[in-house]
Amino acid sequence: MRETSNEPDRLPNAPHPRETLALIGHARSEQAFIEALRSERLHHAWLLGGPEGIGKASFAYRVARFMLAAGDPLVRAASTATLAMPESDPATRRVIAQSHPDLHLLRRTVKPDGKSVTSNIPVDSVRRVLDRFGSSAAEGGWRICIVDSAEDMDRSSANALLKLLEEPPPRALFLIVAHAPGRALPTIRSRCRLLTFDTLDEGEVAEASRLALERMDGAVDTSALTRASALADGSVRRALTYVDPETLALVEAVRARLDALPGIDLSALLALAEDVAGRAGESDFAIMIDTIQSWLASHLRAHAHAGAGRLAPLAEVWEKLGRAAREVETYNLDRRPLVMTMFHDLSEAVRRSRAA
């Protein structure tokens, strides 16, 4: 059973990004930031763009530890190859403990009932950060604001943040995690330097996931981790979710149905529909939707140069799937008919795509 957490940006049974000290697979992005530091023309706002779950937030905290450590980070950058800081460093310990006065985090928050979280980053949270940036840094050095993520800001909170980005105080750094940076407000994008992060390969996903599990003192099932990493579509977050035995079995069952398309095994599909039905199947339904979207995304990337005729059916079913899943959640509809309809739509989309 996976433990729950009251932190909206923490995956159950996994270290929080602020606790993740290793950086796997993003050396190019790290070097780009170090070079900007060495140039002494460090941009005040960075949009960290790339698919969800590949380490963008972990990188943001890695930058924060480096910038908040004692001494001048610009001087430190001149003689370092990475942004790594030892866990014994006082700033690192305070970042992990969420006690550093010059590190500010904008994320969804837990509601007063303590059981649910806000759907967006509250505008009041942004305004509190605005007030803090209006005074001097507590320790006389840099102030860091991590936004995780841009997709969780509504227009009000984004516009409030924009005020800081337009007139940043000295030695202020904004690190904005963005799973789809092209969808961020144009006014925010124009004030940020985009730093892109590539999808991890299967080996990198497995290594990052292994380190995360070991940090949580969890037993590492090498076979399950290998299978989960192969299905994770480059996302460590997805691999850590999939490594749970029950979740892994569900994902493999869904992928078997997807890989058989356009063929449909009706009895297997009915069994899958029953598995995700009812109140007990709510989390399984979310896993199924994520697995289908990941499968579609990988197919769209694989056929990116095949022309619109090949891609259009898959893109259309992606949009239809997203709308249907939201309606099921919003109106608490029976999931079984959706599963049956969804796979028939996917079957037709695959058939049309192959015929194009």
Mean pLDDT of 2-18: 79
Query: Which residue has better confidence, 327 or 218?
Result: 327
Look at residues 10, 25, 16, 19 and name the one whose alpha carbon lies nearest to residue 87. Answer: 19
Mean pLDDT of the chain: 93
Give the tens place of pLDDT for each residue, 12-46.
879 999 999 999 999 999 999 999 999 988 999 99
Element spanning 197, H or E: none
State which CATH number among 2.40.50.140, 3.40.50.300, 3.30.200.20, 3.20.20.70 fits the domain covering 17-196: 3.40.50.300
Mean pLDDT of 141-151: 96
* pLDDT band of 136, cuts 50, 70, 90: confident
Mean pLDDT of 51-71: 97
Query: Which residue has better confidence, 134 or 103?
Result: 103
- Collect all residues with Cβ–Cβ distance below 8 Å to 315 and sequence separation of at least 6: 300
Paired tokens of 134: 């209006």
Range with the poorest average pLDDT among 133-142, 218-227, 276-285: 276-285
Domain-by-domain residue ranges, the chain? 17-196, 244-355
Q: What's the rounded Cα separation, in Å, for the pair 173 and 28?
A: 20
Q: What's the rounded Cα separation, in Å, for the pair 248 and 277?
A: 18
Residue 120 has pLDDT above 80, yes or no: yes
Residue 206 has pLDDT above 90, yes or no: yes
- Collect all residues with Cβ–Cβ distance below 8 Å to 147 and sequence separation of at least 6: 106, 107, 121, 153, 161, 174, 175, 176, 177
Of all residues in the chain, the percent with pLDDT exceeding 90 is: 81
Q: Tokens 């972990």 identify what position?
A: 58
CB 129 within 8 Å of CB 169 = no
Does residue 90 have a cis bond before it (omega within 30 degrees)? Answer: no
Q: What's the rounded Cα separation, in Å, for the pair 304 and 345?
A: 21
Residue 4 has pLDDT above 60, yes or no: no
For residue 6, what pLDDT is reported?
75
* pLDDT band of 301, cuts 50, 70, 90: confident
**Which amino acid, residue 111?**
K
For residue 218, what pLDDT is reported?
73
Range with the poorest average pLDDT among 27-31, 101-105, 275-279, 288-292: 275-279
Paired tokens of 139: 């320790």
Mean pLDDT of 336-352: 96
Q: Cα 229 to chain center, whole Å?
A: 16
* pLDDT band of 216, cuts 50, 70, 90: confident
For residue 217, what pLDDT is reported?
80
Range with the poorest average pLDDT among 87-91, 121-125, 275-279, 322-326: 275-279
Paired tokens of 316: 């259309």
Q: What's the rounded Cα separation, in Å, for the pair 180 and 331?
A: 27
